[in-house]
């Protein structure tokens, strides 16, 4: 009986601990990524963004992405990689009009990905 | 992870309710919740293993959730007297001193032929040779025979009427007609075969007859010779 109760408590702690860490971790990474993208968007809109600004955002994303694979389905992260490469291409060419829609898509993804794995009724059903 | 936890919980509860509603036939020899766990674990372990795009943690958390629910159900099963009946069901006495209990059979999605087949597996062939028969909550069948049951089953009984319908092939085996059996029924105070739950006859002409909602009757037909 005590062993069964202990196993219940340990499993509960493990599951809730993992859930709490996952939510905090994923939210924090995407919040930071979103802030970097918003700043890149401002610079792109004003025509002052450099290719290096883009690569700084990409470097941050690449670092986090590997750990993110533990928590999120890999297909969700692939879309970010694709849009990021496209945006960088436009920035390299200094084509700000082409880069803006790509950065907007990335901003949308950085808001939607954590939302689609957060705890709410819509996601459960 | 919390999402997976809740999704697994929802699927567990849904599958469990469905299995309980399906009755004993679907369960085999496991408790309903054990079967749910067996079904879920296999799937939960397989999907993240086969699909690279799903983090392995998803499968691990799901299985941990199922394990957690199993432990909780076990505790409820052992410690709460009422919970045992709700979680595992209760035994159903399908044959008693009055004969076959049709209500209990229907409750478990079984019919008279299922009961007769279960009796045969246990080595009992005549319905009147049995005092009690029941299906346990996990689906196993047991029967208590009458004292002199061996003398009561000297010949194999066959079904003549099953839930209001004549079995044409078995009537042919007896070398008699439908009218002959209808006559025999009328002599016993039953106007139509539609009122019967079951009627069997063995090679010696011994008839087991039970009208729906009434106690069974055993009588003998005057057959000159043993037919089988």
Question: Domain residue spans in chain A?
Answer: 21-119
Confidence at residue B208, expressed as pLDDT on a 0 to 100 scale: 96
Contact assignment for B68 to A15 by CB distance below 8 Å: yes
Could you tell me the CA-to-CA distances from B159 to B50, B133, B202 in Å, in that order? 51, 19, 9
The nearest CA of chain B is from the CA of A55 a distance in Å of 26
- Among the partner residues A1, A15, A124, nearest to B7 by beta-carbon distance: A124
Confidence at residue B23, expressed as pLDDT on a 0 to 100 scale: 62
Confidence at residue B29, expressed as pLDDT on a 0 to 100 scale: 66
Q: Where are the alpha helices (DSSP H) in chain B?
A: 2-22, 32-50, 56-79, 81-88, 102-107, 112-121, 149-152, 168-173, 178-187
Confidence at residue B226, expressed as pLDDT on a 0 to 100 scale: 81
Cα separation, B106 vs B25, in Å, equals 11
Identify the bridge partners of residue B135 per DSSP, sorted by sequence position. B92, B141
Q: Nearest 5°: phi and psi at B145?
A: -80, 160
At B44, list the tokens: 């939960």
pLDDT tens sequence across B108-122: 899 999 999 999 999
Whether the model clears a pTM of 0.80, i.e. scores above it, the answer is no
Cα separation, B202 vs B227, in Å, equals 8
The nearest CA of chain B is from the CA of A8 a distance in Å of 6
Measured between CA atoms, the residue of chain A closest to residue B58 is A71
pLDDT tens sequence across A27-77: 999 999 999 999 999 999 998 889 999 999 999 999 998 888 888 888 888
Q: Which of A2, A6, A8 to mutate to test the interface with B (most CBs of B within 10 A)?
A: A8
Residue B115: closest CA among B133, B132, B103: B133
Q: How many Cβ pairs closer than 8 A exist between chain A and B?
A: 62
Chain B partners of A7 at a C-beta cutoff of 8 Å? 67, 71
Confidence at residue A115, expressed as pLDDT on a 0 to 100 scale: 86
Q: Which residues of chain B have pLDDT under 50?
A: none
Q: Following DSSP, what letter does each residue of B77-134 receive, concatenated?
A: HHH-HHHHHHHH---EEEEETTEE-HHHHHHTT--HHHHHHHHHHTT---GGGEEEEE
Confidence at residue B88, expressed as pLDDT on a 0 to 100 scale: 80
Confidence at residue A124, expressed as pLDDT on a 0 to 100 scale: 80
Cα separation, A6 vs A119, in Å, equals 27
The nearest CA of chain B is from the CA of A25 a distance in Å of 12
Chain A partners of B50 at a C-beta cutoff of 8 Å? none
pLDDT at A121 over 80: yes
Measured between CA atoms, the residue of chain A closest to residue B4 is A124
Average pLDDT over residues A76-84: 90
Contact assignment for A119 to B61 by CB distance below 8 Å: no
């Amino acid at each position: 009986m005590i062993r069964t109760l202990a196993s219940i408590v340990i499993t509960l702690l493990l599951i809730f601990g993992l859930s709490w860490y996952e939510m905090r971790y994923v939210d924090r990474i995407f919040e930071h990524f979103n802030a970097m993208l918003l700043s890149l968007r401002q610079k792109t809109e004003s025509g002052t963004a450099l290719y290096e600004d883009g690569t700084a955002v990409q470097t941050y994303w690449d670092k986090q992405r590997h750990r993110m694979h533990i928590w999120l389905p890999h297909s969700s992260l692939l879309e970010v990689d694709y849009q990021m490469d496209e945006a960088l291409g436009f920035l390299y060419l200094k084509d700000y009009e082409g880069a803006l829609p790509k950065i907007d898509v990335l901003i949308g993804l950085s808001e939607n990905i954590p939302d689609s794995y957060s705890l709410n009724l819509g996601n459960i059903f | 992870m919390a999402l997976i936890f809740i999704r697994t919980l929802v699927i567990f509860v849904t599958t469990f309710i469905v299995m309980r509603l399906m009755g004993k036939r679907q369960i085999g020899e496991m408790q309903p919740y054990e079967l749910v766990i067996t079904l879920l674990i296999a799937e939960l372990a397989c999907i993240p293993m086969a699909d690279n795009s799903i983090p392995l943690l998803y499968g691990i958390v799901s299985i941990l959730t199922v394990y957690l629910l199993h432990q909780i159900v076990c505790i409820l099963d052992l410690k709460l007297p009422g919970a045992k009946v709700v979680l595992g069901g209760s035994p159903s006495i399908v044959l008693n001193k009055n004969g076959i209990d049709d209500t209990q059979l229907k409750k478990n999605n079984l019919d008279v032929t299922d009961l007769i087949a279960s009796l045969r597996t246990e080595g009992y062939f005549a319905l009147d040779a049995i005092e009690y028969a029941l299906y346990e909550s996990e689906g196993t069948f047991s029967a208590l025979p009458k004292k002199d049951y061996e003398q009561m089953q000297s010949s194999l009984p066959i079904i003549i009427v099953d839930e209001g319908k004549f079995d044409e092939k078995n009537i042919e085996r007896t070398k008699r007609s439908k009218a002959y059996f209808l006559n025999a029924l009328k002599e016993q105070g039953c106007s139509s075969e539609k009122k019967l739950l079951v009627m069997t006859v063995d090679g010696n002409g011994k008839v087991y007859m039970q009208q729906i909602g009434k106690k069974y009757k055993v009588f003998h037909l005057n057959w000159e010779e043993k037919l089988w």
